[in-house]
Amino acid sequence: MRFRLTAVVVPALVVAACGGSAAPRASAPPGPQTATAASAAPAPDCRRVPRGTVRLIASHGTPRTRFAAGVAAAVQVRSGYAVSLVAITGASRQMATWYVDRLRAPATVTSGNVEALEVTNWPMSSLAAEPVRQSQLCATQRRHGPGPLAP
């Protein structure tokens, strides 16, 4: 009985000493400042990807990998584009991103993230996280349609 009482009293003392309570606190709803900060971020400049570019990317994929060419989207980075599309391998569905030097008839194609490297054997190129994220957002929008906040 003594051990059970200690197990209950000690955590309660620690919570009280830290100035907290055992009950969860209700958080305040986000104010207008949060909404303006989120809307201040520029929307990515989404571009369509020609099917020939998707075919070129897919040419280095495994035979069992399928690519959703209809949802491919790109954003401009450095001196080229980050191209994102859904790659389906077996039961696994991944959003993969590649770097191409130009959208029509690219001369350079490299894997832009780990998911791309897993489904194709293009060499790896280091892309910043933000262009990859923007490109994947564009591809997600093409797949699901514009969200409630889209103009």
Cα–Cα distance for residue pair 114/37, rounded to 1 Å: 30
Q: What pLDDT does 59 receive?
A: 94
Ordered per-residue pLDDT tens for the chain, 151 residues: 554 444 444 444 444 444 444 444 444 445 454 444 445 556 678 999 999 999 999 999 988 899 988 899 999 998 899 999 999 988 888 999 999 999 999 999 999 999 999 999 999 988 889 999 999 999 988 876 554 443 3
Cα–Cα distance for residue pair 104/49, rounded to 1 Å: 8
C-alpha angle 63-66-71 in degrees, rounded to nearest 5: 155
With a CB cutoff of 8 Å and minimum separation 6, the contacts of 132 are 82, 84, 97, 112, 113
Q: What pLDDT does 16 receive?
A: 44
pTM higher than 0.75, yes or no? no
